[in-house]
Amino acid sequence: LPYSLQGLATRWLANLPGRDSHPLDYTTLPGRTINLSPFSFCGKRLQIHRRGCLVFFYSYPHHFLQSMHIEWLRMTFSYVFLVIGEVFFVSALLHMMYQRRSPTSMISWMLAIILLPHLAVPLYFILGSRKRVNSKTKSMFSLRSVTDLPLEKANPIDGVLRANGIPGGTRGNRFTLYTDGTEAYLALMEQIRTARESIFISTYVFNNDAVTADILQALTLKAQEGVKVRLLIDSLGSFLLYCFQRPLTQLRQAGGTVSFFMPILHMPLRNYINLRNHRKIYLFDRRIVLTGGMNLSNDYLGPSPDLLRWHDLLFLIEGPAVFHYLEIFASDWAYASGYTIPITLDIVPPGIGDAYIQVVPSGPDIARDALFEALLCAIYSARKRIWIVTPYFVPVTSLQEALIIAHHRGVDVRLITPYESNHLLADLVRSSYMRELMDAGVEVALYKGSMLHAKAILFDDDSAMLGSVNIDNRSLLLNYEVVSFAYSVSIISEMNNWMLKLQEDTRHTMKPPGTMRRIAENMMRIVAPQL
């Protein structure tokens, strides 16, 4: 047997040693024909020795029964695994048809399951579900009404949200917008320093760097003073910290509590890797909240300016609207930690300003797609403009069509997005959608500065949406998110000026795609619903 054929031996043959066989060095068998079949019942057989030494032995006829036994086991296991695979295959298809899905999403999953069942079926059970209502997962919850305006005085967005169980907007809020990472950092540290009763923080990304080291040190000092410190971190967005939690030791020893949302390496049947907590909620003394798109990392904020720092938004709210952010955090915290935070309506913060704000959560814990419906309603209701700022643009078909129709109605539709984002796959997928908008006449402005991570939309001159939601399927229909709709003229004006400043550093053309590039971009639409 040529030496090169030794690699054909499979390791499981090591479990078939012949007790009466006579091992022979293969050099002593020149010219012999060696049968490599694992179920040869006579003649010579190739064996892998348990110590890894490759030898040959004679297999005598009395090994026939032993070989038949192994053959029977092989066939049995083959049929068992075949049946199990078919059960999972059919279960995935039935579950997909049971759930209400968009045609694009259903077709994408069906093609994947049929063409690549060994890969797609396990991925479907990990990534395929959207709304979770069973007892082993985070339960549904709803916000409680605080100071709703009469429905007849509400605008169309407010009306759609109320029809989906979202409380109406609240007046009497103070609103401060931070568009600079240094200003946002100073505001965050000031709120930590002045907190007297409680600090509740929920974030998607919590990196281990110099900025978060300062934040952890400040939180540890407050915990030592007796302030209730609760830190909720998404286990996937902060995977390294989840795996190596040593930086959190001092905070825990000081009395602070840290929990990870849906730990992906713990209880896999209870947690789902595709349903992530993307909310950013920083609450202080139950009366002030900082929220928006900024995670806790040097990429977003820091004590000194950094030209490479991402452009993002953080805004402060003080007033009745904070109560709804507190309810959202309490629900997430109860699920992640198992401990509840008592919340009653008598702790609603008093009015302190004139901003009119409506808080809208979204995700698997919200029974309906209220945010998505409100977004479509706002697009179809717009008469003057729709200005969108988003780091990732992979819209569902209905949203893409709504934007094109709005442009055809004469609405000023603008999309402001990074020239290049931090996700190459997202950039490839978005290209065909952006080209489609450009072909329809929509203005697409590609920001040339550092990474643009802000998420905000202006509708006419009377409403704005700010928060953690990207314009993609994952943010709008999968992840746990939260936004604020603002209906105050002062906020609209501030957002308008910020967006105009962004557009000063943009380009309005994309590199023409080659044939293969265009094919790749269009093919990527198949996976777009999963991004």
Average confidence (pLDDT) over 77-105: 70
Q: How far apart are CA 185 and CA 302, in angstroms?
A: 5
Q: Which residues contact 260 (CB under 8 A, 6 or more apart)?
A: 232, 233, 234, 235, 238, 242, 336
For residue 16, what pLDDT is reported?
43
The tally of CA atoms less than 13 A away on the side-chain side of residue 385 is: 15
**130 or 47: which carries more pLDDT confidence?**
130
For residue 394, what pLDDT is reported?
93
Q: How far apart are CA 399 and CA 369, in angstroms?
A: 14
Return the closest-CA partner of residue 355 out of 386, 318, 324, 328: 318
- pLDDT for 60 beyond 50: no
Determine contact, residues 507/373, Cβ cutoff 8 Å.
no
For residue 21, what pLDDT is reported?
43
- pLDDT for 414 beyond 70: yes
Q: What residues does 458 pair with on adjacent strands?
A: 387, 464
Q: How far apart are CA 482 and CA 378, in angstroms?
A: 17
Number of neighbouring beta carbons within 10 Å of residue 165: 13
For residue 66, what pLDDT is reported?
55
3-state secondary structure 184-211: HHHHHHHHHHHCCCEEEEEECCECCCHH
Average confidence (pLDDT) over 115-136: 64
Q: How far apart are CA 240 and CA 235, in angstroms?
A: 9
Q: How far apart are CA 302 and CA 505, in angstroms?
A: 23
Q: How far apart are CA 430 and CA 407, in angstroms?
A: 19
3-state secondary structure 303-367: CCCCCCCCECCEEEEECCCHHHHHHHHHHHHHHHHCCCCCCCHHHCCCCCCCEEEEEEEECCCCC
For residue 94, what pLDDT is reported?
73
Average confidence (pLDDT) over 494-523: 89
Q: How far apart are CA 263 and CA 243, in angstroms?
A: 10
pLDDT digits (tens, 9 = 90+) for 197-247: 999 999 999 999 999 999 999 999 999 999 999 999 999 999 999 999 999
Q: How far apart are CA 60 and CA 287, in angstroms?
A: 85
pLDDT digits (tens, 9 = 90+) for 309-325: 999 999 999 999 999 99
**61 or 373: which carries more pLDDT confidence?**
373
Q: How far apart are CA 205 and CA 186, in angstroms?
A: 19
How far is Cα of residue 6 from the mean position of the Cα atoms in its chain?
A: 47
Query: Does residue 448 sit in helix, strand or coil?
Result: coil
Q: Could you tell me the pLDDT band of residue 491, with boundaries at 50, 70 and 90?
A: very high
DSSP 8-state symbol, 297:
S
Determine contact, residues 318/284, Cβ cutoff 8 Å.
no
**84 or 448: which carries more pLDDT confidence?**
448
Average confidence (pLDDT) over 268-296: 87
DSSP 8-state symbol, 254:
T
Name the maximum alpha-carbon separation found in the chain: 97
Determine contact, residues 456/465, Cβ cutoff 8 Å.
yes
- pLDDT for 32 beyond 80: no
